[in-house]
Structure 1
Amino acid sequence: MGGTGVLCQALLLSLVGTIGATLEGSCDGPCGSRPGLKKKITVGHSHTRPGTWPWMVSIQIISQSGGRYHVCGGTLLTPSWVLTAAHCFKDKIDLHVLRLLVGAWEIQWAVSGPLDPRVQERKPVQILIHEQYNIKLNTNDIALVQMSSPAHCGDVVQTACLLHSNESPIRAPESCVVTGWGFRRGEAGLAAPIVQEAKVMVTDLDKCNETDWYHGLVHPNNVCASYSDENMDTCQGDSGGPLMCKDNETKTYVVHGIASWAVGCARTNLPGLYTSTWHFLTWINSKIDSDMKMTNLLSAAETLASYPEILGRGAAQKLEEDFSHSSIPGQPPR
């Protein structure tokens, strides 16, 4: 894997170099910077500390009573654009109820009130879903969200790195990291209050597609990553968050995947599946650099102001039921 930060002008993302930080919003340094790690911060927790993954974004919904509910993760690519999963918006959502929290570390469930002063809250301007996203097949599960104003970089906010376009996608075996606020167990519950991290091992797609694994349901533009600890996995609420691997030369973490789907959480031979960012570099560039001539735009006038039923990683209950009852599933039903 590879990818080093380069300075890009405004929202222009160069396909001949790493997609990195821009000049807007005071983010004038290289992508993948983690200045917060150099600070001596006492947090009183055994989880990650503020600034460990400064490009993490919490996508939240504001209820009618004002309470906040984390629904998906995201990655800050530029000060104005967040990368996430398309299935986070599979139920049409009124943009007015969505919020993006940049620089978040500890989140509260169903609580209204002031945010941590280090957290930057933004409203979405538009949501761009991949034109070929297929909710039934879990293909092209990628989306971009433009924020109402640029984020300002600092100790707990930085932009993430993607691969160079001339590099190869991540391959097995490779040790990587996933992060998120998702449920810590598969049963219903609350999002983790502190952003969690876990080490994963990229697994060969052919292995993941074996009969006793996913039986051919994994697509070429997926990344399959398994856990050394069988009790650990991404789960509901981790959707849209990054799969990151360290560049051996620059020691910078590069986002290689977007948490997409799985059958259940932490099940034997059913590891997490991620959308490979390498396969969508051209798409990302075209959308962010397209002078707002976007397709699949979800605007407030076109969407429903209903509370969405969002399932983490796109693994709908019907997929799980059909998978468990079918010895040779043909396609991943939803």
Structure 2
Amino acid sequence: MKPTHLKNALGRRAGRSVGRTALGAAMLGSAGLLPVLAQAGTMREQVEAYQAQLSARHGGPVQDAQPEVVGGKPAKDGRWPFMASLMEKRIADNFDSRFCGASLISKRDILTAAHCITLTGATAKNTQVLVGTQDLTQGGRRINIASITVHPDWNEDTTDSDVAVIRLTEEVNDIEPVAFATTLKEENKHAATGKPTWGMGWGSTQSNPPYPEKLLNVRLPIVDREVCNSSDSYDGAITNTMLCAGFKEGGKDTCGGDSGGPLVAKDSSGEFRLQVGVVSWGIGCAQPDLYGVYSRLAVLGPWVKDQVAKP
């Protein structure tokens, strides 16, 4: 379920296959990726091509840049009602058109990863949002988009501020939006090191079939920032706008195709209904010491909240 450096449209979220050394110096360097993206067809293929190229460019295996929720299992029906998916409008079949995850954060607003927008050329005209289902073969409905706003500090070279807010053309009144963190106090309480979270998505499983029809989810503990930034892991590439989750031994992770989807922690009532991260990037998927990297809503949440508040 985890994108690989920008885990979604690109492989593991576009990333996750970045090499551990000199990672901070040109993590994405998009200039060399443009020819690859230009040759890709669907938005999903553009994301995968980017992730694969990114992985190879930073010394990671290309095959690890495939979207998926690794080590997860099918989510119980209705467990994650706020889960949404970005769809390529020209492709009618939901299974074939899905290219990134997302979450419903208000009746008219959707949260996703910035790279899902900028690296695929997604616009209000060529993209829709699927809500109301955990099964890509049945149920749910597609809604048109009124506008898309990418975080002004989004940086393709460092993957900083990897969030975007989508305003829908109509309200979703039959689904409860997910609450999201906006302060460090909330993170310290609900997403401190070792606290449990759930990641989810329809990304590849690197098995047969490669992509699931039903939503997969995986339980992951929050990882200490110093551990994630150590020389054994991301070697200083984890910035203040990023949050890590996963296991030292690997085996479970979000992956390519999961980009833009939510990482949720327990709220004050003990329910997993507080979004603390957005699937962003990583090196490979479920690899030892290479944890999943998520956009950190304790830092980016105030900007997201401002977008939701706009008329």
TM-score (normalised: structure 1)? 0.65
Identify, as 1 or 2, the structure richer in helix.
2
In structure 1, what is the equivalent of residue 115 of structure 2?
87
Aligned pairs for 1:96-135 within 5 A: 96-108=125-137, 116=139, 119-135=140-156
Q: Does residue 272 of structure 1 match 2:300? A: no
Question: Partners in 1 of 2:93 and 2:125 — Cα distance?
Answer: 12
Superposed CA RMSD: 2.3
Matched, 1:144 2:140: no
Unpaired stretches in structure 2, ≥5 consecutive residues: 1-72
Residue pair 1:74, 1:241 contacting (<8 A) in 2 also? yes
- Could you say which structure has the greater relative contact order, defined with CA pairs below 8 angstroms and 6 or more residues apart? 2
Answer yes or no: is 1:261 the counterpart of 2:261: no
How far off its partner does 1:189 sit? Answer: 7.2
User: CA offset at residue 228 of structure 1?
Assistant: 7.3
8 Å CA contact 2:163, 2:295 repeated in 1: yes
1:152, distance to aligned residue in structure 2 (A): 2.5
1:62 aligned onto 2:89:
yes
Partner of 1:223: helix, strand, or coil? strand
Tell me if the contact between 1:57 and 1:102 (Cα under 8 Å) persists in the aligned partners: yes
**For the Cα contact (< 8 Å) 1:57–1:100, is it kept in 2?**
yes
**Residue in 2 aligned with 1:330?**
none
Q: Deviation per CA, 1:158-204, whole angstroms, max 9, x where unpaired?
A: 2101236473423202111111111113x897432110111101010
Distance 1:149 1:65 in 2: 20
Assess if the C-alpha contact under 8 Å between 1:86 and 1:133 holds in 2.
Answer: yes
Aligned residues: 234
Instruction: State how far apart, in whole Å, the 2-side matches of 1:47 and 1:132 are.
Output: 35
Partner of 2:180: 162
CA-to-partner distance for each residue in 1:104-124, whole Å, 9 max, x for gaps? 21114xxxxxx52xx121011
Q: Structure 2: how far apart are the matches of 1:183 and 1:268?
A: 19
| Structure 1 equivalent of residue 200 of structure 2 | 179
Over 3 Å counting, the alpha-carbon distance change for 1:188 and 1:135 in structure 2 is farther
The answer as to whether partners of 2:101 and 2:258 remain within 8 angstroms in 1 is: yes
Q: Kindly indicate whether the alpha-carbon contact (under 8 Å) linking 1:58 and 1:104 is maintained by their aligned counterparts in 2.
A: no
- 1:229–1:79 distance in 2 versus 1, CA, 3 Å: farther
Per-residue deviation at 1:273? 0.3
The answer (yes or no) to whether the contact 1:181–1:237 under 8 Å persists in 2 is: yes
> Does 1:49 find its partner at 2:76?
yes
Question: How big is each residue's C-alpha offset from its partner over 1:202-234, in whole Å with a ceiling of 9 and x where there is no partner?
Answer: 010100111111110111221100137733211
- 1:93, distance to aligned residue in structure 2 (A): 2.6
CA change 1:126–1:172 in 2 (3 A) is: same
Distance 1:178 1:219, change over 3 A: same
Amino acid in structure 1 at the alignment position of 2:79:
T
Secondary structure of the 2:115 match is: helix
Report deviation, 1:47.
Answer: 2.0
Q: Cα deviation per residue 1:69-98 (whole Å; 9 max; x = unaligned)? A: 211111101110001100001232343331
Shift of 1:268: 1.4
**Pick from 161, 176, 198: which aligns with 2:218?**
198
Deviation per CA, 1:33-68, whole angstroms, max 9, x where unpaired? xxxxxxxxxxxxx72232110000011113467674
- Going from structure 1 to structure 2, the CA distance change for 1:227 and 1:127 (only over 3 Å counts) comes to same
1:77 aligns with 2:84: no
Q: What SS is found at the alignment partner of 1:167?
A: helix
Q: Normalization by structure 2: what TM-score?
A: 0.69
Work out whether residues 201 and 228 of structure 1, in 8 Å CA contact, stay in contact via their aligned partners in 2. Answer: no
SS of the residue aligned with 1:288? helix
Change in Cα spacing, 1:164 to 1:233, as seen in structure 2 (3 Å) is closer
Amino acid at match of 2:97: Y
